[in-house]
Structure 1
Amino acid sequence: MKQKFVAFLILFFLLVSCKKDENSSLKNDLPNYGNVELDDVFNKEDSKLINESEIENTLQLYYDKVWEKGELSGGFLVAKGDKILFEKYRGYAKENDQIPITKNVPLHVASVSKTLTAMAVLKLVEAGKIKLHQKVTDFFPKFPYPEVEVFHLITHRSGLPKYEYVIDEMKLNPPHGKYFTNQDVLDLLIKNKPELARNTNTGFMYCNTNFALLALIIEKVTKNSFPIAMQKMIFQPLKMKHSYIFQPKDSLRAAQSFYNRGNKLFPNDKLDWIYGDKNCYTTPRDLLNFSKAMFSEKFLRKSLKDSIFQPYSNERPGVNNYGMGFRMKNFDNGERLIYHNGWWHGSNSSFSHLLKSKVTIIAIGNRFSGRVYSALALSGLFEDFPPEKEKLAKVLSDEKEQPKEISEPKEVSGDVTE
């Protein structure tokens, strides 16, 4: 009995010690967005809508047709300034109808993670710890592509091969255990030296490798793991209390993702541990905080902040383009729509950050459905985006016009498409 008591005491003090170490490791000693007061970002006019009642009715109609009839699972939120115009949650985070999805349940936002990774990089640029046009070889001397810069990674102009394609084509297995890591991605590029998919800085090519490497650069510069660095730099200062970067230890608590109908889970994948390009778990309300902060003049110095939303791939004319961590649509009338979509396994996401109207539209689903992406069309309610207005009209007019189920978003060189 005495031995059991002693063992209990040792375990207790170990747990307390670990907790203290964890708390001390999260001390905000990195460049972060702690200077952004979320309650002071907008004035009263920013949150006002002349036709608010009509828009709220339209949002309800959209939700009923797309989410309810489509049996989607996840969270949906639309806000103007500080004011949430519409917010709904449905479905479950775990199989067998366990853990109902609420405003506090984080979901995997897949490639929307890239926007958060990009902003962490830019905060380090602002602090002088990284240069946008710095070579990747400055961080990793054995990196076999000497022309590639941080700027090329963050704008998808590196021309690097997609790690998922390289792994499949070479039939590679994880070198340590069941899953590949970011370091494994770097190591396989150094060891195998696969050919560039296109010459560096000659055009746009969406590539997850870019952001997996950016996560490694963040780790190298901050001397923190990427999950801890993101807590220090973004999640904690912006009060994103339910957000985290997935690590193996999060397997039990992380929301699961499902096939389109029923309760069938997507199986685990050997790429599931790679982060930076994906693996941010967050909530619509937390993501709204992030969006609100980006409207703040204190988020980044103005010149750097303005550079986020510029189109950098102009070799071929087209509506679609990419900034720094954000997609965009440049319409013929001169208007610009800023957004990012995401997909991984059964998770889909859509995040719209409307610069003029100061509107945020967030849709996160954990039961695979291309219908989640139709949330982007709601942007036509708030700004002069004729093509999005037409898409929304089709969605709302007839059930037959519901967005079709789609597979992995497609990319073409030059003009960016979903």
Structure 2
Amino acid sequence: MAFLKINFSLFRCLVASVFCVFLLGCEKSGKKNKLWGADDETKEEIAIPASFTADSVKKLTHQLDSVFRHFHKKRGFNGTVLVTKYDQVIYKNAFGLADFYKKDSLTVETAFQLASVSKQFTAMAIMMLKEDEKLSYDDSVQQYIPEFPYHGITIRQLLTHQSGLSNYTYFSDKLWPNRNQNLTNEDVIKLMVAHRPQPYYPPNTHFDYSNTGYSLLASIVEKVSETPFATFLRERIFEPLEMKHTFTYSPDVATLTGKIATGHTRYRQKRTTDYLDTVLGDKGIYSTVEDLYKWDQALYTQKLVSKETLHEAFTGAILKKKKNQEEDYGFGWRIRPLDNGDTAVYHGGLWHGFSTYLLRNPKEHSALIILSNLPNGSFSYLQELRKFLYPAHPDSTAKSQGPKMATRSRR
């Protein structure tokens, strides 16, 4: 991915001016958040610093608007954004077009294909079934898919990308006979049974990001719940959380006329769907920034699963890290330290003309949600945004000559 040259003067000004809002160890006011979900006794409350005032929020909102307008005008960002702090939405906006051919404008109610951000919902479905005592993380895949030809692989290894399985999006290109016929999760299993594609690694020896693993998890959800995966997500997650603009992909999506973004190539040409889109679990969920805010807030409650189960999802599980590797992976979430010392859980996605990003800082109940239908490299500013929102130390920031250029990391 190409390097992005940031407007250093803009960021120096913004980072320095916003620091008063984010100082670590600032005085606590004792004020408790009573916003979204206030009537839910399981909602995790958080003390709000005295420095987080109406004036500071107004200032931060203005600064974020300046940043994103700059990225839209100068870097070609096309999408929607929502930023929260202490559970409050402090900024949301839409920039650009939902369809460059039709010239439809984006709104914050426009649904985007989430790509790999979908994986956290697949992991949640598995966690819910675990709490229902219908499966165990250490069960083998064969307990639910008896014909599965690879032994020694557990549900936990699928969740944490340590199964070693080869990527179905690659072997299907060679093995699927008719590209005009949609591929399903069941078809992926049948291809693996019939052709036994060579795994990349033995199970539980390497972290190797696996779309195949999450497609298998969706199949396990179906078999255990005796419910189609899309139906399970709708009935157990989307509807209870009132995520009214969230749904899974089906061939009918192409005919819908609601507020749905069209994926584009970097040259703004419409990206068409293909036979791989109908495989769910690793991708395939459509949602909006506002619905993802509801999802974020639900994770501070026990509406879906217990806090103990959620804690495990946000706990790193990579057995063998590379030298100097800071990132880890839980159940459908990447885990990384922020410059201010907090730990973020996040995920990004890239699929058929869509780029997506959802980052949460549980310590301060903040989130950064960005959805785009134009993968033109404009997401390479994410490192600068993280530094802006979660700066390291006042002294070092004040003396900084501006953030370094960043490249987009692998999703």
* TM-superposed deviation, 1:147: 0.6
CA 1:47 to 1:291, structure 2 compared with 1: closer, same or farther past 3 Å?
Answer: farther
TM-score (structure 1 length as normaliser): 0.79
Q: Which position in structure 1 is the counterpart of 2:274?
A: 269
CA 1:46 to 1:134, structure 2 compared with 1: closer, same or farther past 3 Å?
Answer: farther
Pairs within 5 Å for 1:2-17: none
Q: Which position in structure 1 is the counterpart of 2:5?
A: none
Alpha-carbon distance between aligned partners in 2 of 1:382 and 1:268, rounded to the nearest angstrom: 35
Query: Given the alignment, which residue of 323, 328, 343 partners 1:321?
Result: 328
CA 1:70 to 1:39, structure 2 compared with 1: closer, same or farther past 3 Å?
Answer: farther
* TM-superposed deviation, 1:384: 5.7
Instruction: Please tell me the residue identity of whatever aligns with 1:207.
Output: S
Q: Which position in structure 2 is the counterpart of 1:101?
A: 106
Q: Secondary structure at the match of 1:55?
A: helix
Q: Give the CA RMSD over aligned residues.
A: 2.7
Q: Secondary structure at the match of 2:213?
A: helix
Alpha-carbon distance between aligned partners in 2 of 1:233 and 1:69, rounded to the nearest angstrom: 42
CA 1:229 to 1:376, structure 2 compared with 1: closer, same or farther past 3 Å?
Answer: farther
Q: Which position in structure 2 is the counterpart of 1:237?
A: 240
* TM-superposed deviation, 1:377: 4.3
CA 1:266 to 1:38, structure 2 compared with 1: closer, same or farther past 3 Å?
Answer: farther
CA 1:223 to 1:95, structure 2 compared with 1: closer, same or farther past 3 Å?
Answer: farther
Alpha-carbon distance between aligned partners in 2 of 1:332 and 1:358, rounded to the nearest angstrom: 16
Q: Which position in structure 1 is the counterpart of 2:182?
A: 179
Query: Given the alignment, which residue of 274, 293, 298 partners 1:293?
Result: 298
Structure 2 gap ranges (5+): 1-35
| Cα-to-partner distance string for 1:2-34 (whole Å, 9 max, x where unaligned) | xxxxxxxxxxxxxxxxxxxxxxxxxxxxxxxxx
Alpha-carbon distance between aligned partners in 2 of 1:174 and 1:214, rounded to the nearest angstrom: 24
Pairs within 5 Å for 1:58-137: 58-137=63-142
Q: Which position in structure 2 is the counterpart of 1:257?
A: 263
Alpha-carbon distance between aligned partners in 2 of 1:359 and 1:332, rounded to the nearest angstrom: 15
Q: Secondary structure at the match of 1:69?
A: helix
Query: Given the alignment, which residue of 195, 198, 203 partners 1:200?
Result: 203
| Cα-to-partner distance string for 1:154-191 (whole Å, 9 max, x where unaligned) | 111111111112223xx223558522211111111111
Q: Which has the higher contact order (CA 8 A, sep 6+)?
A: 2
What's the % identity of the aligned pairs?
28
Instruction: Please tell me the residue identity of whatever aligns with 1:338.
Output: V
* TM-superposed deviation, 1:72: 2.4
Question: Are residues 1:310 and 2:315 paired?
Answer: yes
Q: Is the contact made by 1:362 and 1:375 (CA closer than 8 Å) also made in structure 2? A: no
CA 1:98 to 1:230, structure 2 compared with 1: closer, same or farther past 3 Å?
Answer: farther
| Cα-to-partner distance string for 1:324-343 (whole Å, 9 max, x where unaligned) | 10011146986422100000
| Cα-to-partner distance string for 1:114-136 (whole Å, 9 max, x where unaligned) | 01111111111111112111111
Instruction: Please tell me the residue identity of whatever aligns with 1:348.
Output: S
Q: Is the contact made by 1:361 and 1:375 (CA closer than 8 Å) also made in structure 2? A: no
CA 1:277 to 1:385, structure 2 compared with 1: closer, same or farther past 3 Å?
Answer: farther
Instruction: Please tell me the residue identity of whatever aligns with 2:213.
Output: N
Alpha-carbon distance between aligned partners in 2 of 1:376 and 1:124, rounded to the nearest angstrom: 36
Query: Given the alignment, which residue of 342, 346, 354 partners 1:347?
Result: 354
Q: Which position in structure 1 is the counterpart of 2:220?
A: 217
Aligned residue pair count: 362
Q: Is the contact made by 1:175 and 1:184 (CA closer than 8 Å) also made in structure 2? A: no
CA 1:174 to 1:242, structure 2 compared with 1: closer, same or farther past 3 Å?
Answer: farther
Q: Secondary structure at the match of 1:97?
A: coil
CA 1:260 to 1:47, structure 2 compared with 1: closer, same or farther past 3 Å?
Answer: farther
* TM-superposed deviation, 1:68: 3.1
Instruction: Please tell me the residue identity of whatever aligns with 1:109.
Output: L
